[in-house]
Structure 1
């Protein structure tokens, strides 16, 4: 946002100066702002009630959101975004929060794709730690999703937007059937209109973990209503990339809230998996689902673990006869070591003979001298191939090398547009200028992105260039588009041609120029509504 834009100069509650938008959703905009009293940067959420709510419903919603924001301010935890203040302006609350710099988990998944189970478990443990602190303070989140999890630049995993993105009861559905919030992360009991509890947040965490390792949420369908139906009725698609995380996900995504495991047990399992241990290493495991993953289950019962344990564990009162029994193992171990050493010596001699034969053969062949071991040593190509082959002998090495080589993700571009509301009114020179926002996220930065505005009738702008700086990965820019009169059925979107070809979402494109008398300097027309 440039210095001359109106939002930069607006001061909320006589204290918080709005600088630039950080994000926008169905219920408001989050601004980067400056606290003029404490002289620090903060994040300010401008809450807007949906237009279809009646005035009493809007007032109740604002009052409830204000109460919940103050409740969230009681949650003091390093994984929870800190709420500083709730300011009143224009008859609605403005929530002032800690400004956390970083990417959302949604951005990370878009750029890098599905995460390894260990990394997803480590992130999930931090999110669950934040949820447990909130639940202890009597606060439910009710919108746990990747877009509300921040991967901060200081290394923290921070959960944001407590109690803000939910409308109670039937008002959760708009006239067109769109759900405020994220229906694919909604717990079945919430989809059925029942009162949520801490178990509802655990369900949403399970969907988040599933999406993090599988690349897509398990119940997403074509429409919000079909998604809600799948959440309530359909079985969980088996996770295929989750590895040791699978039983934890299955436990969290049980339809019955009472069947979901306790939060403290889940956090223990997530931290164990995140550190490379099997689930249950730090506490009780999920016994109903633990056997779903080979290698991660209770040890097989041995003789005496059942009802015979007391009799088998008490052989004879005198321990002295058992003392000579440890003597044979050392002799067996010495014989084993002797056989092993002998085998190694034989193998070394065989390899020496084979090496001599190969070198002698190469020495007799003049052409082999230039293409054999000597040339490989000179060029270095053979050594690289040998190192790769040697490392692949360890089962863990290939995956490690693959993960190292994929640390720099392939270039990708995601573009999202917003703004550009239908317009009807006076136009200048037969056109009206639409104000638009463009959000660009790239897989690798720095990057230069070329795009143009397109419509069903063809391109409506020249190619434009935007740069994403090193370390930023994403950028938001304000853009404008001069549009001639067009019917209500037209749409506009951004087409990207470099560094990769892609397109953004589309918006309705409707401009109606009313006739005006050609008088002196008519004032410039302004859009009748703000961004939504």
Structure 2
């Protein structure tokens, strides 16, 4: 029992747990040293084993890695009576599941505001190669100041980092039926597109007060996800703007390549809709609190509508992350050619450090190739994609998930490209 316990003579645990969530028990507590309320999450006593302890510690380390105001801060990590625990920032708010249960479908502005904030967390996650894999309403909280917090990184992975990427199933499914992406259901490779699917399902839920896929059994729900066209929330709620309806529809695409390219693109679509936010009775009022006042000024900091690429003289991971953020900004601003050039330069730099066959080099070059499609340069994109397919097949073999996905993407692009036009005298920048 941990009710009322003193942890390291510092944290006084409350008398009743707040929740039993996944592999953990969540308790309120008081940090007596700093005089503040906190949350303490323990490994569930009924599931305690070495593998679960490893996963629990791994979740805490991943949460620390993602330094973003939309993620609860981790204050401490310890053990009590053989049970590991993590001390987290207390969020004064409600989960989106409870919010919808209390309020019904949310106002359009609030759906966009919540979605945009989750998108910003996913932008930060992608910068460190992290995939959450369990984005859903119960894993997102709305603070009473209007800020969103993304919770529960117990299923997260970080690409190309064995310390965080390997996770063993211990009686738990890796995701939530109705919200996990088809590639996750099939046990395939996951990337940032996987979390975008979860975000799309969450937005659908907020807009309609029902999940996007429902079935009498788990099997029928999964069949709807895999075999049915992506649903449109406007069919259940006609006042949804066409742009938002199209976005949710695209986020729920079965194939990852058919979803928006990045979370930055999703943010750019949602942010303009987050206007005239009404009070939410019992949750958010119309007073100007300290956090919204602070955020409102930060939001006025000039953004580069047309970011310029400045070559970096260093070759550190921080430089790469900064340059990748610039490329995402360029793409979000519609500067697709400049974004493609930035992705290729990043690929060159990473190849010099880690070799031409490194998976991140492939990913960067894939982004560069895709950036030419909105410009109507389908042939150029196809040349680059086919070159990548040849290299990736050589390295990973013809049956690798990434190879199969790329081959399907090439087939779709070849099928959908417009009829050839007469060649222009001014040719675009040369391929890499």
Check conservation: 1:49, 1:61, Cα contact below 8 A.
no
Question: Could you say which structure has the higher helix fraction?
Answer: 2
Aligned to 1:15: 10
| Partner SS state of residue 34, structure 1 | strand
Aligned to 1:200: 194
Deviations along 1:316-348, one digit per CA (max 9) or x if unpaired, are xxxxxxxxxxxxxxxxxxxxxxxxxxxxxxxxx
Aligned to 1:184: 178
Check conservation: 1:88, 1:94, Cα contact below 8 A.
yes
- Counterpart-to-counterpart distance in 2, 1:200 and 1:143: 9
- List alignment gaps of at least 5 residues for structure 1: 1-5, 174-178, 277-281, 289-305, 311-532
Question: Could you say which structure has the higher strand fraction?
Answer: 1
- What TM-score, normalized by structure 1, do the two folds share? 0.47
**1:34-433 alignment runs, 5 A limit:** 34-48=30-44, 51=47, 58-163=49-154, 168=167, 171=170, 173=172, 179=173, 182-240=176-234, 241=237, 242-243=240-241, 244-261=243-260, 262-275=262-275, 283-284=333-334
Check conservation: 1:142, 1:163, Cα contact below 8 A.
no
- Counterpart-to-counterpart distance in 2, 1:83 and 1:165: 16
Q: Of the two structures, which has the highest relative contact order with CA contacts closer than 8 Å and spacing of 6 or more?
A: 2
Deviation at 1:100, TM superposition (A): 0.8
- Counterpart-to-counterpart distance in 2, 1:136 and 1:237: 30
Check conservation: 2:96, 2:137, Cα contact below 8 A.
yes
Seen in structure 2, the aligned counterparts of structure 1 residues 21 and 165 have a Cα distance that, compared at 3 Å, is farther
- Counterpart-to-counterpart distance in 1, 2:205 and 2:89: 27
Deviation at 1:204, TM superposition (A): 0.3
Deviation at 1:75, TM superposition (A): 2.0
> RMSD between aligned alpha carbons?
3.3
Deviation at 1:209, TM superposition (A): 0.5
- List alignment gaps of at least 5 residues for structure 2: 158-165, 277-331, 337-370, 375-420, 426-432
- Counterpart-to-counterpart distance in 2, 1:309 and 1:273: 39
Deviations along 1:195-220, one digit per CA (max 9) or x if unpaired, are 33222111100000011112211112
Deviation at 1:165, TM superposition (A): 8.6
Check conservation: 1:72, 1:139, Cα contact below 8 A.
no
Deviations along 1:369-400, one digit per CA (max 9) or x if unpaired, are xxxxxxxxxxxxxxxxxxxxxxxxxxxxxxxx
| Partner SS state of residue 86, structure 1 | strand
- What TM-score, normalized by structure 2, do the two folds share? 0.57
Provide runs of 4+ in structure 1 moved above 6 Å.
285-288, 306-310
| Partner SS state of residue 231, structure 2 | coil
| Partner SS state of residue 52, structure 2 | helix
Seen in structure 2, the aligned counterparts of structure 1 residues 210 and 200 have a Cα distance that, compared at 3 Å, is same
Deviation at 1:49, TM superposition (A): 7.1
Deviations along 1:239-274, one digit per CA (max 9) or x if unpaired, are 223323111112211112233211111111110222
- Counterpart-to-counterpart distance in 1, 2:105 and 2:244: 13
**Aligned length in residues:** 275
